[in-house]
C-alpha cells in the first residue's frame, strides 16, 4: 500500500514544548519558588526588586517596573507619561490586540499606520503620511508606539527622527523582543518607555502572566510604581486612581532564573533561523515573493533579531497549514485579522483596504516552530513536509 505523501519518515514537531525547558531548569526553578514559599513574602517580596534590577541592567536602562502583564506594562507606560484622553498614539494594525486596546484603555485614540512589507514593523513612511494627512481623529498626537514584531526592532532611526520632528514620545511595544537590539542598543532602551510581556510563550517567560515596563526617566519610574499599586506612595493613602498590577513574587523568582538563560536562548533562536533559511534555500523553496515560493524572514542590517517567531510568507497559506497539522507539525498565524478589522475596533472608523500591506501579511504569514530546545532533525522535518506540500 502506498503511503499518503510518505509521511512516515517525518517526525511530529510541536509548535512549542515548555516541558523541555522545564526539564533543564527544574531544580533551579523549584528552589527559587520554594524560597518564596519559605519567606511567605508573596506580594512585592525582595525577588521582585531583584528581578527588576537585573532586567533593567540587561536592557541597559535605569529603571524597570514589574507588573502583571505586557498589556498592563503598555498601559502603565502611557499612564505614567500622562497620555490619556485627547491624545493620539500612532501604531500598527499588524500586532497583538493589546497594542491598540491599551491605548484605548488610557482613554487615548489609536492612529494607525501601515507596516513595512519586509519586516512587518511600523513603516516610517506610512507614519509620516498619517501625521501629514488630515485625519478624522481629533486630538494632539502625543506618541509613537512601534512594535518590535516577531523579535526584530522596528526602524528606530527613522521613527526617532519623526518623533523628534513632531515632539512625540516613543513607547516601545517590546513584548516579543527581550534581548533584541537596534544599532547595538537593546529593546527597552530605544524610546521613552517600553513594555515587555513575560507570557509563557515569550522568549523570556514566566509561569503565568507577568510583564515589565522600562524607562530611563526617574519620574516615569516612580509614577508607574505608584500606579501599579493602587496609586499609593504611602500605605492606604491614594494619591491617584491606580490599579493592582504588581509583579507576583513567585513569577519574579522564576523570571530571575530564566533571565540568566535568555541570551543563550536568543543565540540558539538565531542559529535555528539561519538553519531554516539554509534548508529552505537548499529545497529550492526560497523566493523573492509568494508567486514563486516562500519568502524567508528579512532582517535589517541594523537589527539583532531574537526570532521570538520565525515567520514566512507563503502561497496557499491555509492549505499549507492544514497539511502541516495533518502531519503533526505545529504552526501558527500571527495575526490572521489586522486590528483595524477587528469587530471591537470597527468604531475607530477604518475599513478594509485602509492598510493593504498589513491585510496582505495577514493572509500570507505563517510562523513555524522555533525555541531553543528545538532539535535540528525536527527543523528538517518541518522543511521536508513543506517541500512535499509544494512538490
Ligand atoms: C506585541 C504584543 N503586545 C502586547 C502583548 C501583551 O502582553 P500580555 O499577553 O503579557 O498582556 C503581547 C503578548 O501577547 C504582544 O505580543
For every residue of 336-349, which 3-state class applies, written as one string?
Answer: CCCHHHCHHHHHHC
pLDDT value at residue 140: 77
Q: How far is the CA of 211 from the centre of ligand 1 (A)?
A: 9
The secondary structure element, H or E, covering residue 313 is strand 310-313
Contact 339, 89 (CB under 8 A): no
Q: Is 203 in the pocket of ligand 1 (CB under 6 A)?
A: no
Q: Is 357 in the pocket of ligand 1 (CB under 6 A)?
A: no
**Mean pLDDT of the 229-244 span:** 96
Percentage of the chain exceeding pLDDT 70: 96
- Least Cα distance to 209 among 262, 166, 149, 255 occurs for 255
pLDDT value at residue 6: 47
Q: Is the pTM of this model over 0.85?
A: yes
User: Is 80 exceeded by the pLDDT of residue 228?
Assistant: yes
Q: Is 205 in the pocket of ligand 1 (CB under 6 A)?
A: no
Q: Is 146 in the pocket of ligand 1 (CB under 6 A)?
A: no
pLDDT value at residue 76: 98
Q: Is 256 in the pocket of ligand 1 (CB under 6 A)?
A: no
User: Is 60 exceeded by the pLDDT of residue 286?
Assistant: yes
DSSP state of 208: S
User: Is 80 exceeded by the pLDDT of residue 5?
Assistant: no
Locate the DSSP E strands across 92-247: 109-112, 140-145, 169-173, 181-182, 185-186, 193-197, 211-215, 232-234, 237-238
Q: Is 96 in the pocket of ligand 1 (CB under 6 A)?
A: yes
Chain segment 15-28, per-residue pLDDT in tens: 999 999 999 999 99
Grid cell digits, residue 50: 531583584
pLDDT value at residue 135: 59
How far is it, in rounded angstroms, from Cα 80 to Cα 89?
Answer: 15
Instruction: Report which protein residue has its CA nearest ligand 1's atom 7.
Output: 70
Reported confidence tier of residue 3, pLDDT bands at 50, 70, 90: very low
Classify domain 262-390 at the CATH class level.
alpha beta
Average of per-residue pLDDT values in the chain: 95
User: Is 60 exceeded by the pLDDT of residue 215?
Assistant: yes
pLDDT value at residue 159: 98
Helices and strands (H and E) in the chain: how many: 11, 14
**Residue 194: Cβ-neighbour burial (10 angstroms; 0-12, 13-18, 19+):** buried
What would be the CATH architecture of the domain defined by 22-259? 3-Layer(aba) Sandwich (3.40)
Chain segment 321-378, per-residue pLDDT in tens: 999 999 999 999 999 999 999 999 999 999 999 999 999 999 999 999 999 999 999 9
pLDDT value at residue 2: 32
Beta carbons within 8 Å of 100's beta carbon, 6+ residues apart: 91, 93, 110, 112, 339, 345
Contact 252, 47 (CB under 8 A): yes
**Mean pLDDT of the 277-304 span:** 97
Chain segment 350-365, per-residue pLDDT in tens: 999 999 999 999 999 9
pLDDT value at residue 10: 87
Q: How far is the CA of 96 from the centre of ligand 1 (A)?
A: 6
Helix H, strand E, coil C: the string for 46-109 is HHHHHHHHHHHHHCCCCEEEEECCHHHHHHHHHHHCCCCCCEEEEECCCCCCHHHHHHHHCCCE
Domain borders along the chain are: 22-259, 262-390
Percentage of the chain exceeding pLDDT 90: 95
pLDDT value at residue 8: 60
Q: Probe ligand 1: pick from 72, 101, 175, max atoms within 8 Å of CB? A: 175
Tell me if 22-259 shares its fold with 262-390: no
Q: Is 175 in the pocket of ligand 1 (CB under 6 A)?
A: yes
User: Is 80 exceeded by the pLDDT of residue 190?
Assistant: yes
Contact 151, 124 (CB under 8 A): no
User: Is 90 exceeded by the pLDDT of residue 4?
Assistant: no
Amino acid at each position: 500500500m502506498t503511503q499518503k505523501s510518505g509521511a512516515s519518515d517525518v517526525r511530529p514537531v510541536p509548535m512549542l514544548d515548555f516541558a523541555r525547558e522545564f526539564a533543564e531548569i527544574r531544580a533551579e526553578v523549584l528552589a527559587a519558588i520554594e524560597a518564596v514559599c519559605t519567606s511567605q513574602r508573596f506580594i512585592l517580596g525582595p525577588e521582585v526588586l531583584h528581578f527588576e534590577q537585573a532586567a533593567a541592567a540587561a536592557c541597559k536602562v535605569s529603571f524597570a517596573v514589574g507588573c502583571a502583564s505586557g498589556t498592563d506594562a503598555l498601559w502603565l507606560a502611557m499612564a505614567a507619561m500622562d497620555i490619556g484622553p485627547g491624545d493620539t498614539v500612532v501604531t500598527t494594525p499588524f500586532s497583538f490586540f493589546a497594542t491598540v486596546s491599551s491605548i484605548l484603555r488610557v482613554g487615548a485614540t489609536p492612529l494607525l499606520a501601515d507596516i513595512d512589507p519586509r519586516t512587518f514593523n511600523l513603516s516610517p513612511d506610512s507614519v509620516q503620511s498619517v501625521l501629514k494627512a488630515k485625519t478624522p481623529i481629533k486630538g494632539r498626537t502625543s506618541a509613537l508606539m512601534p512594535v518590535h514584531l516577531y523579535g526584530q526592532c522596528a526602524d528606530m532611526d527613522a521613527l526617532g527622527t519623526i518623533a523628534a520632528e513632531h515632539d512625540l514620545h516613543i513607547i516601545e511595544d517590546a513584548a516579543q523582543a527581550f534581548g533584541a537590539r537596534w544599532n547595538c542598543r537593546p529593546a527597552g532602551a530605544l524610546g521613552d518607555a517600553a513594555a515587555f510581556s513575560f507570557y509563557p510563550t515569550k522568549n523570556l517567560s514566566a509561569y503565568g502572566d507577568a510583564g515589565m515596563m522600562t524607562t530611563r526617566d526617574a519620574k516615569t519610574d516612580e509614577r508607574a510604581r505608584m500606579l501599579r499599586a493602587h496609586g499609593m506612595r504611602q500605605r492606604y493613602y491614594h494619591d491617584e486612581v491606580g490599579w493592582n498590577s504588581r509583579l507576583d513574587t513567585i513569577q519574579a523568582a522564576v523570571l530571575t532564573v530564566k533571565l540568566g538563560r535568555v541570551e543563550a536562548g536568543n543565540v540558539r533562536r538565531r542559529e535555528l533561523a539561519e538553519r531554516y533559511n539554509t534548508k529552505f534555500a537548499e529545497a529550492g523553496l526560497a523566493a523573492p515573493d509568494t508567486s514563486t515560493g516562500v519568502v524567508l524572514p528579512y532582517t535589517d542590517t541594523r537589527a539583532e533579531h531574537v526570532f521570538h517567531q520565525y515567520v514566512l510568507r507563503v502561497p496557499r497559506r491555509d492549505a499549507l497549514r492544514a497539511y502541516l497539522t495533518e502531519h503533526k507539525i505545529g504552526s501558527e498565524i500571527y495575526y490572521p485579522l489586522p486590528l483595524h478589522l477587528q469587530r471591537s475596533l470597527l468604531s475607530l472608523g477604518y475599513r478594509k483596504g485602509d492598510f493593504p500591506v498589513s491585510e496582505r501579511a495577514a493572509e500570507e504569514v505563517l510562523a513555524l516552530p522555533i525555541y531553543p530546545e528545538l532539535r535540528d532533525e525536527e527543523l528538517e522535518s518541518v522543511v521536508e513536509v513543506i517541500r512535499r506540500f509544494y512538490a
